[in-house]
Every structure is written in structure tokens, then in C-alpha cells.
Amino acid sequence: MDIINDEYYMRLAIDIAAKAKGQTGINPVVGCVVVKAGRIIGIGTHLKRGSGHAEVHALDMAGDEAKGATVYVTLEPCSYHGKTPPCSERIVASQAAKVVVAMEDPNPKVAGRGIARLRECGVEVKVGVLAAEARLLNEAFIKYITTGLPFVTLKTASTLDGKIAAKSGDSQWVTGPKAREMVHTLRHQHEGIMVGVGTALTDDPLLTTRLSVPAISPVRIVADSSLRLPRTARLLQDGATRTYILTTERADPAKIKALEAAGAKVVASGAGKHVDLRRAMKRLGELEIGSILLEGGGRLNGAMLEEALIDKLMLFYAPKIIGGAAAPVNFALNGWDRMADAVQISQMQVEVVGEDVCLSGYPIYPGQTKR
């Protein structure tokens, strides 16, 4: 019975945390539920980096009733002074009797110390309830905090024959309104949205989040080795959010100056002819961009895949066949010589989205083992 109860309340905590996805920057999303005598007396989630954590909000709601209660939290309570005081100390001060934790915090600053501190103070701690679901909830945070690199989700929209536009270049629209709305939700949930300069020149996109409810627009990232993006590009004119332009160390200083005068931040990565994408991801991580939604064309998608820089795939397919040998495709890359060397997709899921379908999963690159 305890297992059933623990999973029920932890699932509620996970659901609460998920609602704040996209709001916490490089911080994890965390949910907390405080329960006493079979009654929920406090709930909370982390709403913004630098603001109170989930445990604080939930315990504030519970008040004096928190004494002797059980605290359910999706991530190990922190144990150090950062932008906010340690949550483990707040729990101890509340005199809660038990804490149920979904997963340990992979942050080296915590990494079991919060749990140890609670136990030192006589609080009963149970770890591992719905751990897989908790890890999925914070998959971007886990990669960023352990590697310093952003978690990259590739999104494409194509016809059944893999074309992202007609041979004329027309792409309005490949998928239907439900799929496009889902993509805007994905934008809200990522810290950056990335395209290649070809896409920026062809579509002149805004790259903002447009939903029926208020949403956060991620920073915009354009891979542009030769700095072909004009100062008149719409993503440099609207001021909705910052734009980063990835280029090379060979870039024309005059063009750099002009683009930065227009409000962009130019990031040079690599001395070669093309952007060094691996170095670029490291640099974006240093700029505290912990997650990126890649919406590139075939060349950028292919280059990111060849460099094993894509962590997750979300491939939207419309029930259409457009044909055309010259029509652009999802992935333009040299590829591998043997089928045994192909990138495998694990944990594949299929979701019907309006009139379209979304295939999602995680790439396993040649030489890698399964996730």
C-alpha cells in the first residue's frame, strides 16, 4: 500500500514540475507535495531560476502542519547555499518526518549530500520512486550539469518521402496546425532555437514562440560560417529575444561589427571554413544555454548528426508525398558505408498529432551502446 501511495503522490509532484518546463533556465524543474494523514497540505514547484525552490513553496503552504508530514520531491533537496538557501535545511526546520525522493541530484555540488544531511538530522529518506520518469523530466538538466553541454533536440517536419519543402522551396505548410502548435510548445520548453543561415535566408523567420497563452521565446542561434545573414533579417529587428550567430575565426571583422551593432552576439568557433559545431556547443554551454531545439535544414541537421551532437529526435511526418529529386530533405550528409553503422533510434515513440504523426526517440551513434 505504501508503494502505491508513494507513486501516486510522486506522480503528482512530477506533473506539477512539468508545468514549469521552460521557465527555470539551466536549473532543473522540480515538484514537491507535502502529505499528512492522507491529506495533501502543500504543493509547490520551482518557477524561476533564482526564486524559491519547490520544497520551499510547498512547506510554506503546509505551514506548521508540516511537522510529522511526508515530503515528496522529484529531485534530491539541495544542500548548499546558491541563489537560495539549502532546501535540505528548510525540510529539517519544518520537522517533517519523512522525505521521498525520486532521484539523486546529478549536480556535483549536491550528489547525495542533501539526502545524507536529512538522514543525519533524523529524517527518514526513501529514494528511487518513479526515478525513470524523473530522469526523463530533467534529461536536459542532467546532460548540462554533468557535461557543460546543451541538450539538443532535433525537430523536423517533412512529407512521408522525407522532403521538408517542395522542389520550388515552398514549405508553407508541411504539417498541420496541431503539429505547429506542438512545435511552439517545444520552443517554449528550450532555452535556444537553432537554424542554419540557409533557413534564415530562405524563410526569414522570427524564431519566436507563438502560443494562445503567454510563453517564453528562447534565444535564437544561427549557424553562419560566412556571415551571410543581413542586418535586415526579421530575427534581428523584433527585439523579442537575443540572437547568437555562430561563425568561424576567419569571419570578416566588418561583418561582425555590423551584426553586433544590429543587436546580435557573434560567437566564433573554429579556424576552418565551416563552424566547428562541437566547439560551438561548448561555447553555448558556457553562455548558460542548457537546451537547444534544432530546427535546421538538411545540411545543418546532417552535420549535427555526423558530429553526434543530437540527443533527441522529434520527426513530424505529414500524410503527403511531394517528390522531386531536388527537393530538400531532412538530413543531407555523407552517411556511412554499411547498414550496420547506421544511427539507431532507441526508445521510439509514436504520437498522432492532428492529421500528422510524430516519431520521437534517442539516437545511438556508431560505436555507442544503448541508453
- List the Cα angle 26/178/132 in 5-degree steps: 40
DSSP result, 309-343: ---EEEEEEES-----TTS-BS------SSGGGSP
Structural Rg of the chain based on CA atoms: 23
Residues 19 and 30: their CA atoms lie apart, in Å, by 10
Type of residue found at 314: M
Distance, CA of 181 to CA of 212 (rounded, Å): 9
100 pairs with which residues across the strands? 72, 126
Which residue matches cell numbers 545540411? 299
Cα dihedral sign, 269-208-181-15? positive
How many of the other CB atoms lie within 10 Å of CB of 212? 7
Side-chain half-sphere CA neighbours of 50 within 13 A: 1
Q: In what order do the strands lie in the sheet with 124-127?
A: 39-45, 31-36, 70-73, 98-101, 124-127
Residues 346 and 370 sit within 8 Å (Cβ to Cβ): yes
First-residue to last-residue Cα distance in the chain: 32
Q: Which residues are catalytic?
A: 55
Q: Which of 129, 76, 70 is nearest to 104 (CA)?
A: 76
Q: Could you tell me the CA-to-CA distances from 222 to 50, 137, 193, 236, 244 in Å, in that order?
A: 28, 27, 9, 11, 6
For residues 75 and 62, the answer to whether their CB atoms sit within 8 Å is: no
Grid coordinates standing for 31?
A: 515538484
